[in-house]
Structure 1
Amino acid sequence: MENEIKLTLEQEAPAAPTLTLEGAEPEEPQAQEGAKPTTLDESILSPEEQKMVDDFSQKINLQNSTMVMQYGSAAQRKIANFSDTALNNVRTKDLGEVGDQISNLVVELKGFDIDEEERRGFFGRFKNTGNKIIAMKSRYDSAETNVNKIAAALEKHQVQLMKDVVMLDQLYSMNLNYHKELTMYIIAGKKKLQQERATTLEQMKQKAKQTGLAEDAQAANDFAQQCDSFEKKLHDLELTRMVSVQMSPQIRLVQNNDKLMSDKIQSTLVNTIPLWKSQMVLALGLAHSEQAVRAQKEVTDMTNELLRKNADKLKMSTIETARETERGVVDMETLRHTNLSLIQTLDEVVKIQDEGRAKRRAAEAEIGRLEGELKQKLLDIHT
Structure 2
Amino acid sequence: MTANRDAIVPLQSLPGVSPLVENYLQSSTAEAMATYETLTPLAQSRALLYASQIDLTNFESVLTLGQDSQCAVSQFADRMLAQVKDRDVTKIGQMLDSLMQTLDRVDPAALEPKKPSFFKKMFGKTSPSVKQTLTEFERISIQVERIGVQLERAQLQLIRDVELLEQLYSHNRGFFEELATAIAAGQMKKQQAIEIELAKKLDIAQSTKQPLAIQQLNDFVAQLERLDQRIYDLQVSQQVALQTAPQIRMIQQANQTLAEKIEFSIVTLIPLWKNQLAMMLSMNMDQHYAQLEERLTRTNERFTNPSFEQQVSKFKETQHELKMAIQDVFALHTATEQEKQHLQHDVAEMKRPKTME
TM-score calculated relative to the size of structure 1: 0.61
Match of 1:115 among 110, 124, 132: 110
Task: Pick closer, same or farther for the CA change 1:200–1:139 going to 2, 3 Å.
Answer: same
Identical pairs, percent: 27
Query: Which residue matches 1:69?
Result: 63
Superposed displacement of residue 62, structure 1:
1.3
Task: Pick closer, same or farther for the CA change 1:185–1:130 going to 2, 3 Å.
Answer: closer
Superposed displacement of residue 143, structure 1:
1.4
Superposed displacement of residue 96, structure 1:
8.4
Task: Pick closer, same or farther for the CA change 1:94–1:137 going to 2, 3 Å.
Answer: same
Give the counterpart letter for 2:202 in structure 1: K
In 2, are the aligned partners of 1:53 and 1:187 still within 8 Å (CA)?
Answer: yes
Match of 1:84 among 56, 78, 94: 78
In 2, are the aligned partners of 1:112 and 1:136 still within 8 Å (CA)?
Answer: no
Please, which runs of 5 or more residues in structure 1 have no aligned partner? 1-35, 301-383
Query: Which residue matches 2:53?
Result: 59
Matched, 1:48 2:42: yes
Instruction: Select the structure with the greater relative contact order (CA < 8 A; seq sep ≥ 6).
Output: 2
Give the counterpart letter for 1:190 in structure 2: Q
Query: Which residue matches 1:281?
Result: 278
Residues 51-93 of structure 1: per-residue CA shift (max 9 Å, x gap): 1111221111112122223433332222122112112211112
Task: Pick closer, same or farther for the CA change 1:230–1:41 going to 2, 3 Å.
Answer: closer
Equivalent residues in 2 for 1:205-216, closer than 5 Å: 205-216=202-213
In 2, are the aligned partners of 1:136 and 1:284 still within 8 Å (CA)?
Answer: no
Query: Which residue matches 1:177?
Result: 174
The CA distance in 1 between the partners of 2:297 and 2:224, in whole Å, is 105
In 1, are the aligned partners of 2:69 and 2:178 still within 8 Å (CA)?
Answer: yes
Task: Pick closer, same or farther for the CA change 1:120–1:224 going to 2, 3 Å.
Answer: closer
The CA distance in 2 between the partners of 1:157 and 1:62, in whole Å, is 54
The CA distance in 1 between the partners of 2:208 and 2:297, in whole Å, is 128
Matched, 1:259 2:269: no
Give the counterpart letter for 2:154 in structure 1: H
Query: Which residue matches 2:348?
Result: none
TM-score calculated relative to the size of structure 2: 0.65
The CA distance in 2 between the partners of 1:295 and 1:239, in whole Å, is 84
What is the alpha-carbon root mean square deviation over aligned residues? Answer: 3.0
Query: Which residue matches 2:305?
Result: none
Please, which runs of 5 or more residues in structure 2 have no aligned partner? 1-27, 299-357
Task: Pick closer, same or farther for the CA change 1:138–1:38 going to 2, 3 Å.
Answer: farther
Query: Which residue matches 1:189?
Result: 186
The CA distance in 1 between the partners of 2:252 and 2:291, in whole Å, is 55
Task: Pick closer, same or farther for the CA change 1:294–1:250 going to 2, 3 Å.
Answer: farther
Match of 1:234 among 231, 234, 238: 231
Superposed displacement of residue 95, structure 1:
4.7
Instruction: Mark the structure with the bigger radius of gyration.
Output: 1
Query: Which residue matches 2:87?
Result: 93
Superposed displacement of residue 282, structure 1:
1.6
Matched positions, count: 259
In 1, are the aligned partners of 2:51 and 2:189 still within 8 Å (CA)?
Answer: yes
The CA distance in 2 between the partners of 1:299 and 1:197, in whole Å, is 103
Give the counterpart letter for 1:101 in structure 2: M
In 1, are the aligned partners of 2:172 and 2:245 still within 8 Å (CA)?
Answer: yes
In 2, are the aligned partners of 1:165 and 1:255 still within 8 Å (CA)?
Answer: yes
